[in-house]
Amino acid sequence: MPPTSRRGLLFGTAAVSAGALLTACTSNEPKNSAPATDNVPAAADKPGTPVTIGFAGPQADHGWLNAINENAKARAAKYAEVTLEITEGSNDTAAQIGQIQTLINKKVDVLVILPADGKALTQVGLQAMKAGIPVINLDRVFASPQAYRCWIGGDNYGMGLNAGRYIGEQLKDKPNAKVVELAGMDNLELTKQRTQGFDDALKNYPNIRKVARQAAEFTVESGQAKMAQLLQAQQQFDALWNHDDDQGVGALRAIQQAGRDDFLMVGGAGAKSAMDAIKAGNSVLKATVLYPPTMAASAIDLARALGQKKGVSGMSELEIPASITLYSAVVTKENVDDYLPTGFS
């Protein structure tokens, strides 16, 4: 198992409860109607001392990353005393290092960093911490805990686990059930973690066998191409787990083109188009496992609290936790209305 996912597991049990508390308190999942518009901020919502937050993320060339930026911007705009310094997104490690160093030199109060590559940007995280700027590490984790004050992110392993559990429960009474996996980019560690979680969950269901797995590239085009091949290879199966709703658009297109509807499909990430399809209930897509981009809004809350030396309301501790792992909820027709507002396009 990769080190990151082990870390995820270790603090998973401890952090999920804290995360749940925070989530309940920030309330940006079940109840709000648009990302970060009418929800209650994490710390006290009355204006405090001014805080400048530096935000550096990858290039928003993908729906989920775009939603990250939008969530961060919308949340920061809610606070009169928060100034958000947001950099041009970049997928190039060197360019992102340069952008973060500029933010350090500008002496922002808190940094929120979603690294293009967590390991490669560890040094610049350390550098910021040494310069006395607390770092909120968003989602893709640095190699050293010294490089951030607080890590907040999704649970890739948990995503696979929950997708596997959902499918397992749906198929537990069916003998010799077959499942197929359409994974994301294979050169990313998170893809391996999602697959691992999925496989581990399926071990609890001896009647279910994973018969095929192909990796797409988080794009509609690759989703269509790989799904078409999978459908050709597997003339009959009972369930499909697709890691990413963006590539899921292509996968659904391929399924439609092949004229197949004899299985159930579970998506990943929580795109609005997927939730709409789940709600409509007229396609094979029955559920999607969240990897909520609202984490960016939470990261802004945490950064503000850090800048104002506050803790998290709803928790007994005076300090903000060192790490917060979000819960990968399963969105189905039953609860889709609660989650629709967080869906991204």
The reply to whether 345 sits near other proteins by the rule CB under 8 A is yes
Token pair 């939730």 is at which residue?
275
**Interacting residue with other proteins among 41, 134, 158, 250 (CB under 8 A):** 250
- Indicate the residue among 182 and 303 with the shorter CB distance to other proteins: 182
The reply to whether 88 sits near other proteins by the rule CB under 8 A is no
In one-letter notation, the amino acid at residue 63 is G
Token pair 């749906």 is at which residue?
170
Candidate ranges 92-100, 243-251, 295-303, 327-335; the one touching other proteins (CB under 8 A): 243-251
Nearest residue to 28 via CA among 78, 65, 63, 82: 78
- The single-letter DSSP state of residue 200 is H
Q: What string marks each residue from 153 to 192 as x (binds other proteins by CB under 8 A) or -?
A: ---------------------------------x------
Q: d(Cα 301, Cα 304) in Å, to the nearest integer?
A: 5
Q: d(Cα 302, Cα 214) in Å, to the nearest integer?
A: 38
Helices (H), 79-209: 93-105, 122-130, 156-171, 189-202
Nearest residue to 322 via CA among 302, 293, 307: 302
The reply to whether 219 sits near other proteins by the rule CB under 8 A is yes
Positive or negative CA dihedral for 139, 140, 142, 145?
positive
Q: How far is the CB of 187 from other proteins (least distance, A)?
A: 8
The reply to whether 253 sits near other proteins by the rule CB under 8 A is yes
Rounded to an integer, what is the distance from CA 99 to the centroid of its chain? 23
Candidate ranges 38-46, 103-111, 160-168, 209-217; the one touching other proteins (CB under 8 A): 209-217
Q: What string marks each residue from 45 to 74 as x (binds other proteins by CB under 8 A) or -?
A: --------------xxxxx-xx--------
Token pair 């988080």 is at which residue?
218
3 state DSSP class of 54: strand
Q: How far is the CB of 180 from other proteins (least distance, A)?
A: 10
The reply to whether 9 sits near other proteins by the rule CB under 8 A is no
- Indicate the residue among 23 and 195 with the shorter CB distance to other proteins: 195
The reply to whether 323 sits near other proteins by the rule CB under 8 A is no
Candidate ranges 37-45, 102-110, 134-142, 210-218; the one touching other proteins (CB under 8 A): 210-218
DSSP structure string for 81-116? TEEEEEPPP-S-HHHHHHHHHHHHHTT-SEEEE--S
- Indicate the residue among 48 and 343 with the shorter CB distance to other proteins: 343
Q: d(Cα 40, Cα 283) in Å, to the nearest integer?
A: 35
Candidate ranges 36-44, 257-265, 291-299, 331-339; the one touching other proteins (CB under 8 A): 257-265
**Interacting residue with other proteins among 201, 246, 296, 307 (CB under 8 A):** 246
In one-letter notation, the amino acid at residue 327 is Y
Query: Would you tell me which residues interact with other proteins (CB under 8 A)?
Result: 59-63, 65-66, 186, 211-215, 217-226, 228-230, 232-233, 235, 246, 249-250, 253, 256-259, 271, 273, 345
